């Protein structure tokens, strides 16, 4: 069997084609893992709460799905830019900076919750048709979440990747998985909202208030957890 002699270093047998094939399969497996983790990452509680609070203004599935996709686009943008910079320039993120990113997520969740609670009107189609403000909010939330949260898991996986190009590809595929996952999550949440809007015309205000309170409470929890429990402000 030629590959045994090649592995033993006997002249006349070349093992490079087989090694390249194995490396290629390993890269594909890594990218597949990144896509799967991206899909899973989209279902993190802070992501779902943030997008639900913004998408609750819509009584149709497509506009709500667009909000989820825009959130995923913002998330992918910052994750790819910051992650690739870490890989290519061998940067290190100080723990306090990582906590500050997490704290920013709490602030963003709190702001979105306050806007929902203090706002007026029902669904966007009834109150402000054509407004792009919810999409802008979703994009901004995605930018913030791309810097923090369990996206750090992706960077931990990258620690095992020797090739910078493969690491950057992993980040991009991870981001695409998150974008697709968040769109699917938003569609699954928007479908019952669309059904409720057809049966109960008053459901828009109730959903806006409920999602706002959840986002507000979770944002306050994230700020307390990162700011004082995990030591952003309480340690020297």
Q: How far apart are the first and last CA of the chain?
A: 63
- With a cut of 50, say whether residue 165 has pLDDT above it: yes
Closest by alpha carbon to 54, among 146, 177, 182, 201? 182
pTM: 0.80
3 state DSSP class of 177 = helix
Torsional sign, CA 128, 137, 175, 214: negative
Tell me the domain boundaries of the chain: 15-229
Contact 111, 235 (CB under 8 A): no
What's the pLDDT tens digit per position in 20-77?
Answer: 544 455 778 888 888 998 999 899 898 899 888 887 777 778 888 888 899 999 999 9
Rg (CA), the chain: 22
Contact 109, 49 (CB under 8 A): yes
Alpha-carbon distance of 226 to 236, in angstroms, equals 14
Tell me the angle at which helices 45-55 and 95-118 cross, rounded to the nearest 10 degrees: 30
């Amino acid at each position: 069997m030629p590959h045994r002699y090649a592995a033993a270093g006997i002249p006349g047998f070349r093992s490079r084609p087989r090694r390249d094939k194995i490396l290629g399969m390993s890269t594909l497996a890594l990218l597949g893992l990144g896509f799967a983790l991206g899909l899973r990452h989209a279902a993190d509680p802070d992501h779902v709460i943030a997008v639900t609070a913004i998408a609750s203004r819509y009584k149709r599935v497509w506009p709500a799905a667009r909000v989820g996709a825009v959130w995923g686009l913002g998330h992918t943008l910052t994750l790819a830019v910051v992650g690739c910079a870490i890989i290519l320039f061998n940067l290190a993120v100080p723990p306090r900076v990582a906590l500050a990113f997490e704290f920013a997520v709490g602030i963003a969740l709190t702001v979105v919750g306050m806007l929902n609670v203090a706002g007026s009107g029902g669904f966007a189609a009834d109150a402000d048709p054509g407004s792009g403000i919810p999409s802008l909010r979703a994009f901004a939330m995605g930018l913030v979440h791309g810097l923090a949260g369990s996206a750090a898991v992706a960077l931990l996986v990258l620690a095992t990747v020797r090739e910078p190009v493969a690491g950057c590809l992993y980040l991009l595929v991870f981001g695409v998985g998150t974008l697709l996952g968040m769109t699917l999550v938003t569609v699954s949440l928007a479908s019952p909202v669309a059904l409720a809007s057809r049966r109960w015309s008053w459901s828009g205000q109730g959903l806006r208030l409920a999602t706002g309170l959840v986002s507000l409470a979770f944002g306050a929890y994230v700020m307390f957890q990162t700011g004082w429990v995990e030591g952003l402000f309480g340690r020297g």
